Amino acid sequence: MSEELIVHGIEWTVKELFVYPNEYIYWSIQIVMYPYMTGLVAGAFVLSSLYHVFGQKQLKEIAQFSLVFSLALLPVAALPLLLHLQQPTRAMEPLLTPHFTSAIAAFGIVFTAYALIVLSEIWFVYREYFVAQAHVLKGEPGLANAMSRIVYRVLTIGAYDVSEEALRVDKKAATILAAIGIPVACFLHGYAGFIFGSVKANALWMSPLMPVIFIMSAVVSGIALCMLTYIIIMEWQAFRRRRKGSGVEASEIKGAEKETINQATRYLLGFLIAAISLEMLDLIFRGYTAMKSWDILRSVMYGKDFVNIFVLQYTLGNLVPFVLLILPGRTLKRTVLALLLVLFGVFMMRWNVVIGGQAFSLSFSGYMHYEIPIIPHSLETFKEGLFGALTVIATPFVLFWIINKFVPSLRRDAHKS
């Protein structure tokens, strides 16, 4: 088969019974990653806002971290879309000629607005620190320090006023931005749900509940990822300190952590309950109304995708972590396990929506199976395969590592300097 004959989707789609000739799994792993990553961004931001807006003091530490982490996640929400486009060089067109009857057209605008909010909130929160660094590094020897100082001077954007009055204004601005950010974050993700929920041709996707379900599970996954990363980083730092022999400080940190984790867990459970309730409502409603598409939907949900939906998503990804988190005597290890399962559960939910929605033919007379490309043999099988997805997952951590160098989001880092 010559290169130009490779039809998009043919390499990972297996058809069964009658499927229209042009039907393939056109939206594959990257479109699973897209709502997943967007959800993490939105969730991380909501977690940070719980402190900034609602004054949840116990969340102060994780809130700071979540805010910076949501910035690291932000570009990665757009990355899967870019990797998925057949014409990636035209990726800016939705911004240049947006066609507003399309849900995707709003992406550029919502995404940009959201990015500006996150960036400016971080700027207001960290401005004092930037100014301090610009002063501290002044006259320090070495090229690295000189370079750092230039970066910090650029980051201040010339606002060196750190009087009490100015800092008060900073704080107020950050709070206002965090407050505006919550609806925008929800909108960013809710509309990702709308992209799917409004496809009337797709029997599984079409549901007005879709945006709400997406928002709830987004917050769940965002909180889970922030908690997990926070625990791992803090534990790693405590571990390193212990090895250096300053045990007192390490135990101090651990106490603070527990309180933060407890509070965050409470929010996590709340949103998890909301997400599951809505999903159950959707499922029951479909079964009860039993529209034309129900026969094929039922055969997919209770048959072909049973393990994916009921075992992996609902049991392993929702029920088990729920029990793990709610049982008394929770340890940090158990929390980590529960958080990993929650993240897995939300990923499976995205998978079951995106891939599950394409598991049956528009003719309702056949099925399509998605075989994710593992070993890539072309750019396409890399992008829309396992390694493309892993690239997307790894990117926010790399970005966070870089951003955190200049915007220390964990108390320990800030103390160091």
Q: Does 86 bind other proteins (CB under 8 A)?
A: yes
Stretch that binds other proteins, among 180-188, 193-201, 242-250, 386-394 (CB under 8 A): 193-201
Binding string, 154-173, against other proteins, x = CB under 8 A? ----x---------------
Closer to other proteins at the Cβ: 362 or 372?
362
Closer to other proteins at the Cβ: 200 or 416?
200
Distance (Å, rounded) from C-alpha 197 to C-alpha 242?
Answer: 51
Binding string, 8-37, against other proteins, x = CB under 8 A? xxx------xx-xxxxx-xx----------
Distance (Å, rounded) from C-alpha 77 to C-alpha 396?
Answer: 9
Q: Does 333 bind other proteins (CB under 8 A)?
A: no
Q: Does 85 bind other proteins (CB under 8 A)?
A: yes
Return the amino acid letter for 367.
Y
Stretch that binds other proteins, among 99-107, 118-126, 336-344, 394-402 (CB under 8 A): 99-107
Closest CA to 200 of 291, 274, 95, 304: 291
Distance (Å, rounded) from C-alpha 252 to C-alpha 250?
Answer: 5
Closer to other proteins at the Cβ: 145 or 202?
202
Distance (Å, rounded) from C-alpha 23 to C-alpha 5?
Answer: 16
Q: Does 112 bind other proteins (CB under 8 A)?
A: no
Candidate list 75, 104, 282, 315; residue touching other proteins; CB under 8 A = 104
Closer to other proteins at the Cβ: 230 or 360?
360
Q: Does 200 bind other proteins (CB under 8 A)?
A: yes
272 contacts 224 by C-beta, under 8 angstroms: no
Distance (Å, rounded) from C-alpha 263 to C-alpha 112?
Answer: 31
Closer to other proteins at the Cβ: 66 or 361?
361
Q: Which helix (H) or strand (E) holds 169?
A: helix 164-197
Closer to other proteins at the Cβ: 202 or 315?
202
Q: Does 201 bind other proteins (CB under 8 A)?
A: yes
Closest CA to 196 of 204, 188, 187: 204
Pairing of strands 366-370, 13-17: antiparallel
Q: Which helix (H) or strand (E) holds 231?
A: helix 210-244
For other proteins (CB under 8 A), the number of binding residues is: 49
Q: Does 195 bind other proteins (CB under 8 A)?
A: yes
Query: 238 to each of 182, 228, 391, how far by Cα in Å?
Result: 32, 15, 29
In a 3-state reduction of DSSP, which class is residue 370? Answer: strand
Return the amino acid letter for 72.
A
Candidate list 176, 199, 233, 403; residue touching other proteins; CB under 8 A = 199
Q: Which residues bind other proteins (CB under 8 A)?
A: 1, 4-10, 17-18, 20-24, 26-27, 81, 84-87, 90-91, 93-94, 96-99, 101-105, 107, 158, 195, 198-202, 292, 361-365
